[in-house]
Amino acid sequence: MTGSTSPTRPARGRRVARLAWAWLATAAAASTAVAESWRSELYPHDWTPPALDSRFYQDRLIQDFSHAGYHRGDRPLPDVEGPVADVTTGRFDADPTGRRDSTDAIQAAIDAVQRAGGGVVRLPPGTFRVRPPEGRPAALEISASHVVLRGAGVDRTFIVNTSHDMRGRSVIRVSGPGEAGFTGSNRTLQRITMDLPGPTQVVPVADSRSFRRGDLVVVRSEATEAWLQEHEPRWVPHARRFAGLSYPRRVLAIDRDRHHLLLDAPTRYALWQRDSARVERLGAEPLAEVGLEDFSIGNLEHPDHDASGWVEAAFGNSSAAAYQTHGSALIRLERVWNSWVRRVESFRPEDNTLDTHFLSNGLIISHCRGLTIKEVVMRNSLYGGAGGNGYHYRFTNSADNLVIRCVSDRNRHGFVFSSMGTSGNVIHDCLDRETRRAVLGRPSGSGSDHHMHFSHSNLVDQCVADNSFFASIYRPHGSHPQHLVTAAHSVFWNIESRGNQHGDVVKTQQARYGYVIGTSGPRPGVATGSRRPNTDPIDHVEGRGRGADLQPQSLYLDQLAARQGGLRIHGLDPEPVPLPQRQARLAPMLEAGPELLAAGRRPDYRWTVVRAPGPARFTSDDTLRTTLEMTTAGSHQVRFSARLPQGEWSREFTVELAR
C-alpha cells in the first residue's frame, strides 16, 4: 500500500444522490398535473390517529408516523457553533495530507470536547487516515452527549480507514451506556393495569409515583409462550432469545389521581397484562445531541480478491478473506437518542483497485430513538455475504427514527428493519438502487426489507426502487430462530419503481395486516404471495400503478404538518362509577403542536353531554378538568372541546354509572 490515500471520483456519489432526489422531485411535480387524484380508503380527509378502541389483532388502521426523527421533527437539526476543536491545530496535530495516521490525534480532540461538556470536533479539508487501535471496537469513538464531528463537506473532507481486519468493528462508533438500551436489569418499573389492544399515548400503571415528567422510559412486554403461539409457534423453543416488544418513550405528563402516564408517541402493537406489560425507567441516560456531518468516509479494500474467499458463507471460515470483514460498519450508533447523521457519503479511496467504498455495512443502528439520517449516500460494499453483510442502513431494536433523502446504491439489502423493538421508523424520499450486488461475490439476498423477528409498524414513504424492491415477507431463512414473520402493520406508501429489473416493486406478507398504498413506474406490481403461516389476512393493497395520483403524496409529511399545527386530546375513559357514588372526575391531557405552542394562547374549553340516560351536569363546563354528576345508571357520552383561533379539537369520553 502506498502512502497516498486521497479520494478518487468523489463527485460520482454526489451525482447519484442528486439524480435520486431529482427523480423524486420530478415525480412529485408530475403528480400535480394529473387531473384525477385519489385517497386511500384508510386515510380520508378527516383521518384522526387510531386510538385504544382500535384493535391491532383485528382492524385495518393507518397509524400516526409523525413522531419520527430528531425530537419527533418538532425541532430543526441544530447548527452547533462551538466550542470548536480543530484536529489539525494545537496539541492534536492530525495530518490532512493522508501521509500518516491521524487516529490518535482525532480521538484526542474528541476526548477533549467530551471532557469540556460538548462542542464541535472539526475536520478541515483534507484526507485523514485512521484505523482501530489493537483491541478497540472502532477507529474513532464518541461516548458522550453534545459532540459534533464535522467535516468541511463531502467533497473536501475524507476519512479513510486503512485496516481491512475489521471483523465486527467500525470506523466510527457512537455508543451510550449499556443500561440506556431498550432492555436492562434492576430498573424501576410499574405494571400496566389494563390490556392495551390498540395504539395509545396514555398508559395506566399501578403507581405513577415511580415516574416524573420528562423521564425516559420503555414500554415493554414479554414474548411469552402464549404470544409466540399466536404469532409464530416455531419460535416457542427459542423464547429466551426474544426480548419482546419495546417502545422507548418520554413522559410528557402524569395524572396522579388515576395513575396515567402521557407518553410522547403511541404504542405500536397490542400490549397484554398476560405478557407482563410494564413501563420501565431507563437505567442510564442514552447519548443525545450527537452529530456526524459534512464528510466522506471510506475503507481500504481487502487485498485478497480471489472469488473463493468471498462466497456467501465465507464469513464463517477463518481462513477466508471475508472472515476479516464480516459484520464491519462505517458508522455504528448504539443507545443514542435525538441525534443526527447528515451530509455524509461513502467514497472510493485511491488505493482501492476495485470500485470499493467500504467492506460490508454502512450504518448500523441499535437501541436508538429519534435519529435523523439525512442526505446520506452509501455505495459499493466489498462483501455482501450471509450473516449480516452488505447492509447499507440497518435498524435493530430501534424506534421512531427518520431516514430522509438518502441513497443506497449496490447492496445486498438497502434499508433494513430487524427485531421486535424496531417500530415507528420512517424511510422518506429515499432511493434503493441496484440491489443484490457487491464488489466481490454475488449476494443471494436483495431488496430493502423488514428482515426478521417481527419488526412492525414502520413506514416506507414516497421512495424509489431502481432495480430493487421493498419487502415485508415471510422468511423461513437464517439460523434458529429463523426470521419467519418479519412484520405487522407496516405501510408502504407511494412507492415508485425504476430500471429494467423484472418483478414486483413491493412484496408483503405481514402478520395481522400490512398496507401497500399506491405504486408507480414500469414495475408497479404488489406481491402478496401464497398464504404463509401466521400471515393472514392478506395484506391491504390499493392503487397499483396509481401512485402518481395519490393524495397526499407523502403520508409522513402530511401527518407531521397535522400534528405540528394541531392539538391532541388524550385520555382514557374513566372506570365505571359504582352506586351510590354518582360523580366521575374527568381530566383529559393535552398535547399541543409546536406551532400552537409558539402562539402562546390558552384554549377555550367546553364540556357537553352528548347522550345520557337521565339528567347529568358538570361542576364546571369551561375548564380542563371537571366532574360529571349523574342521576341515572347507564352509559353517559360526553364531549370535551378545545378552541383556538387556528381551529377546534374535540374528543368524546364514555362514563358508566353502574346499575
The closest of 214, 366, 360, 365 to 299, measured between CA atoms, is: 360
Give 175-210 pLDDT, tens digit per residue. Answer: 999 999 999 988 999 999 999 999 999 999 999 999
Q: Please state, in angstroms and as integers, the Cα–Cα distance from residue 161 to each residue in 104, 151, 297, 349, following that order.
A: 13, 16, 8, 9
The closest of 580, 589, 567 to 257, measured between CA atoms, is: 589
Residue appearing with cell numbers 471520483: 9
C-alpha grid cell, residue 44: 380520508
Helix (H, G, I), strand (E, B) or coil at 506: strand
**Alpha carbons 630 and 577: distance in angstroms, whole number:** 10
Fill in the DSSP letter of residue 56.
T
The closest of 395, 174, 400 to 286, measured between CA atoms, is: 174
Residue 501's Cβ-side half-sphere holds a number of Cα atoms within 13 Å equal to 19
Residues 540, 516 contacting (CB under 8 angstroms): yes
What's residue 34's pLDDT? 45
- What is the SS3 string spanning 559-620? HHHHHHCCEEEECCCCCCECCCCCEEEECCEEEECHHHHHHCCCCEEEEEEEECCCCEEECC
Strand order in the sheet with 278-281: 189-191, 278-281, 216-221, 245-255, 260-263, 202-204
The closest of 322, 380, 375, 372 to 348, measured between CA atoms, is: 380
C-alpha grid cell, residue 292: 456526524
**Alpha carbons 136 and 149: distance in angstroms, whole number:** 19
Q: Please state, in angstroms and as integers, the Cα–Cα distance from residue 369 to each residue in 72, 320, 363, 406, 425, following that order.
A: 10, 36, 15, 18, 9
Q: What are phi and psi of 113, to 5 degrees?
A: -65, -40
Based on DSSP, count helices (H) and strands (E) in the chain, helices before strands: 6, 45
**Alpha carbons 470 and 25: distance in angstroms, whole number:** 20
**Alpha carbons 175 and 114: distance in angstroms, whole number:** 13
The pTM (predicted TM-score) of the whole model is: 0.95
Helix (H, G, I), strand (E, B) or coil at 553: coil
Residue appearing with cell numbers 400534528: 563
Q: What is the C-alpha radius of gyration for the chain, rounded to an integer number of angstroms?
A: 26
Q: Please state, in angstroms and as integers, the Cα–Cα distance from residue 512 to each residue in 391, 397, 417, 612, following that order.
A: 27, 21, 18, 36
**Alpha carbons 172 and 148: distance in angstroms, whole number:** 12
**Alpha carbons 85 and 80: distance in angstroms, whole number:** 13
The closest of 366, 359, 358 to 333, measured between CA atoms, is: 366
Q: Please state, in angstroms and as integers, the Cα–Cα distance from residue 585 to each residue in 112, 272, 618, following that order.
A: 54, 26, 10
**Alpha carbons 448 and 456: distance in angstroms, whole number:** 15
Amino acid present at 625: R
**Alpha carbons 393 and 406: distance in angstroms, whole number:** 10
Within 10 Å of residue 292's Cβ, how many Cβ atoms? 26
The closest of 389, 394, 393 to 377, measured between CA atoms, is: 393
Q: What is the largest CA-CA distance in the chain?
A: 89
**Alpha carbons 488 and 481: distance in angstroms, whole number:** 18
**Alpha carbons 638 and 212: distance in angstroms, whole number:** 30
Report mean pLDDT in 10-residue bins for the chain, 659 residues.
38 44 50 71 97 96 98 98 95 96 98 98 98 98 98 98 98 98 94 98 98 98 97 96 97 97 98 98 97 99 97 96 98 98 98 98 98 98 97 98 98 98 98 97 95 97 98 93 96 97 95 96 93 89 98 98 97 95 96 91 96 98 98 98 96 95
List, in order of start, the domains of the chain with CATH numbers. 180-281 (2.40.30), 569-657 (2.60.40.10)
Give the pairing of strands 616-618 and 626-630: antiparallel
Burial 293-330 (b: 16+ CB within 10 A, else e): bbbbbbbbbbeeeeeebbbbebbeeeebbbbbbbbbbb
C-alpha grid cell, residue 171: 470506523
C-alpha grid cell, residue 224: 411469552
Q: What are phi and psi of 66, to 5 degrees?
A: -80, 0
Residues 6 or more apart whose Cβ sits within 8 Å of residue 19: none
Residue appearing with cell numbers 467500504: 358
Give 402-431 pLDDT, tens digit per residue. Answer: 999 999 999 999 999 999 999 999 999 999
